[in-house]
Amino acid sequence: MKRAIPAVVSAATALALVLAGCSGEDEPVDPDAPVTITLAGWSLSSTPEFKTLADGFKASHPNVTVELKEYDTANYDTQMTADLAAGTAPDVYVQKNLKNFYTYSSGGQLLDVSDAAADLGSVSALASYQVDGKMYAIPYRQDSWVLYYNKELFAKAKVPPPDGTWTWDDYVTAAKQLSTGLKAAGSNASGTYQHVFQSTVQGLALAQTPGADLLSGNFDYLKPYYQRSLDLQAAGAQPTFGTANTNKLTYQAQFGKQQSAMMVMGTWYIATLLNQRKSGDADTFEWGIAPAPQFDTSTTGTSATPVTFGDPTGLGINPRIDKSKVAAAKAFVGYAASEDAAKALAGIGITPARVTEAVSATLFGLDGVPQDDVSKFAYATHTIKPENPVSKHTAGLQNILNETHSAILSNSKGLDEAINEAQNRAKNEVLNQ
């Protein structure tokens, strides 16, 4: 199959040129000499995407070894920032989301990879990593948020399953009906589960609300989304924010162990659910995905395009990399965005940045993946908006809004009070600085 970029096809040639430029004109260069580059990852025992990329690249570049370096998933950016400052960061590292991309790129902590991205125009997420006309990372996956649902629990509660036409009002109604129906059927499962991430509320509110702009410092668009969450908590249709935190509930167990009939979560959970069904950490039951509930009916139904959110996940190169390894590193990040890599990632349930019909067919060919038309539609058809618009203000604003999220859902502050306080802090602590 034709490679996505010339750097992938001619890595040996490019590597030889770089080596020649660094070692002096009279020194012989062996383009087949072994090269080892290091790659950051997290949860390596349960997150196979990094090894999948490393192994796939090795198959076409046998002289290049990609060695994995594990980081803590919850503290990834903190640890990576420390390693970059200390000069101990790996050669290639992941841009986990867009929240801190501006900090990395503006701080000179990413190598220009424009040449490796030159022929990747069909990957829409590329634009997110462009600064002043230069590319500083290449996306290899692009998750979006969808609605997971347990078909068996819906049937037990005698509630019609999602069909791709739901607004948030439909979602709230179904959650309450599920809770009532499941209780009557003798089940302890809740109607829905909303995990403690700020994304579960704020990401969808930002993506779907007309005119919403994180960088404006006006957060009124969040109010109806929080009002629904508070309503569902009060009605007992979902575990409260306090319960989820105190009992350390995980979204994997809530859905995978059939403790909740539905859940809005990112498409990365597909791979996790499939793996946990095999290991026994999740039950085996009939499930499906549907588009995330929508702001209004203008984007519902399979004849429309639902709106959701999700930052891309990209690979960038540490500028302190040994010059003799630059060509190999660029070839690797280029490979990660190729169709070959996309198929390999889809083969383990990961949603790659490049989704084609062949890639979708690969994912839906996996054992345990739902085969209904709504699930296939939800996976492949959507407008994805970023959770973190690239800006020097993004990280500061999101940190404020994370505190706001906790204050509202724990009922420690009223909704209006919390939003007003967040807006004042945004203006004084971030936007005016």
Ranges 26-40, 49-63, 110-124: which has the least confidence: 26-40
Q: How confident is the model at residue 31 (pLDDT cuts 50, 70, 90)?
A: low
**pLDDT above 90 for 120:** no
Looking at residue 433, its pLDDT comes to 83
Domain count, the chain: 2
Is pLDDT of 277 > 90?
A: yes
User: Could you give the CA distance from residue 329 to residue 374 in angstroms, rounded to a whole number?
Assistant: 39
Backbone torsions φ then ψ of 143, nearest 5 degrees: -80, 155
Same domain, yes or no: 214 and 332: no
* 290: pLDDT strictly greater than 90: yes
**Which range has the worst mean pLDDT, 3-17, 248-262, 281-295, 335-349?**
3-17
Q: Is residue 255 part of a domain?
A: yes
Q: Is residue 18 very low, low, confident or very high in pLDDT (cuts 50, 70, 90)?
A: very low
Over its C-alpha atoms, the chain yields an Rg (Å, rounded) of: 23
Same domain assignment for residues 290 and 211: yes
Task: List residues bridging with 21 in a β-sheet.
Answer: none
More confident residue, 9 or 98: 98
What pLDDT, on the 0 to 100 scale, is given for residue 119? 77
Tell me, yes or no, whether 264 and 410 share the same domain.
yes
Closest CA to 90 of 63, 59, 119, 54: 54
CA separation, residue 243 to residues 193, 225, 239 (Å) = 11, 20, 6
pLDDT(11) > 50: no
**Residue 265 φ then ψ, to 5°:** -160, 170
281 and 315 both lie in a single domain:
no
Report residue 27's pLDDT band, with 50, 70 and 90 as the boundaries.
Answer: very low
User: What is the rounded average pLDDT of the residues 424-432?
Assistant: 97
pLDDT at 252 over 60: yes
Mean pLDDT of all residues in 90-104: 95
Judgement on whether residues 58 and 153 belong to the same structural domain of the protein: no
Per-residue confidence at 356, pLDDT binned at 50, 70, 90?
Answer: confident
317 and 180 share one domain: no
Find the CATH number of the domain harbouring 99: 3.40.190.10
User: Which of these, 314, 394, 397, lies nearest to 100 by C-alpha position?
Assistant: 394
Residue 329 has pLDDT above 60, yes or no: yes
CB of 351 within 8 A of CB of 267?
yes
Cα–Cα distance, 43 to 70 (Å, whole number): 7
Return the minimum-mean-pLDDT range out of 13-22, 67-76, 106-115. 13-22
pLDDT of residue 2 exceeding 70: no
**Beta strands 64-71 and 35-42: pairing type?**
parallel
Which positions ≥6 away from 174 have C-beta within 8 Å?
A: 159, 160, 162, 166, 191, 262
Per-residue pLDDT band for 30 (boundaries 50, 70, 90) equals low
Question: 155 CB contacts (<8 Å, ≥6 apart)?
Answer: none
> Is 361 a domain residue?
no
Q: Which helix (H) or strand (E) holds 131?
A: strand 130-131
> What is the rounded average pLDDT for all residues in the chain?
91
- 287 Cβ neighbours under 8 A, 6+ residues apart: 148, 149, 150, 151, 255, 273, 370
Determine the Cα–Cα distance for residues 18 and 329; give it in Å rounded to an integer.
Answer: 12
pLDDT band at 20 (very low <50, low <70, confident <90, very high): very low
**Is position 403 within any domain?**
yes
- Backbone φ and ψ for 288, nearest 5 degrees, come out as -155, 170
Residue span of the structural domain in which 202 resides: 145-307+383-431
Say how far apart CA 321 and CA 164 lie, in whole Å: 47
Average of pLDDT values for 148-169?
98
CA-angle at 331, arms to 327 and 332, nearest 5°? 120
Please report the pLDDT score of residue 43 as a whole number: 87
CA distance 290 to 374: 6
The per-residue pLDDT for 188 is 96
- Same-domain pairing of 416 and 269: yes
The span from the first CA to the last CA of the chain, in angstroms, equals 51
Task: Please indicate, yes or no, whether residues 18 and 96 belong to a single structural domain of this protein.
Answer: yes
Which tens digit of pLDDT belongs to each residue from 409-420?
Answer: 999 999 999 999
The mean per-residue pLDDT over the stretch 142-171 comes to 98
Mean pLDDT for 142-164 is: 97
Instruction: With cut-offs at 50, 70 and 90, classify the pLDDT of residue 6.
Output: very low
Residues 88 and 138 in one domain: yes
pLDDT above 90 (res 311): yes
